[in-house]
């Protein structure tokens, strides 16, 4: 399994890296490793589905606080959110990203 580059964020131009390991073609439920390098933040956006991130390393910045290794952060469907790694981070944020149905993103 190798890191794949996501699409550049249309607002910041920054790229999130992903390693996919589960994708259910019937339900759209999926799980993958996500990596936010320092300065990569997915700015204000919403999703059509709920999703969570289990933090494995680093500090995940969110609109609602900062979370570290072992923390699980759940984002309800339709919530206006932002998350990623601050530019001042000492290293990347890596986590397990889980969705409950087919995933989309709408930037605000």
> What would the pLDDT profile of 32-83 be if each residue is shown by its tens digit?
999 999 999 999 999 999 999 999 999 999 999 999 999 999 999 999 999 9
Return the percent helix, strand and coil in the chain, to nearest 5.
Answer: 0, 50, 50
Q: Which residue has the tokens 């794949």?
A: 4
Q: Which helix (H) or strand (E) segment is 30 a member of? A: strand 30-36
- Asked: is 4-103 a CATH 3.30.1490.100 domain? The reply is no
pTM of the entire predicted model: 0.91
Answer yes or no: are the C-beta atoms of 99 and 64 closer than 8 Å.
no
Q: Which residue has the tokens 């204000």?
A: 44
């Amino acid at each position: 399994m190798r890191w794949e580059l996501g699409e550049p964020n249309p607002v910041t131009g920054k790229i999130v890296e992903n390693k996919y390991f589960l994708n259910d073609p019937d339900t759209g439920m999926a799980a993958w490793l996500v990596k936010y390098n320092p300065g990569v933040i997915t700015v204000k956006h919403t999703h059509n589905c709920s999703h969570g991130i289990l933090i494995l390393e680093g500090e995940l910045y969110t609109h609602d606080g900062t979370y570290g290794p072992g923390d699980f952060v759940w984002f309800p469907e339709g919530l206006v959110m932002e998350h990623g790694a601050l530019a001042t981070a000492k290293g990347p944020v890596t986590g397990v990203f889980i969705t409950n149905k087919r995933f989309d993103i709408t930037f605000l």
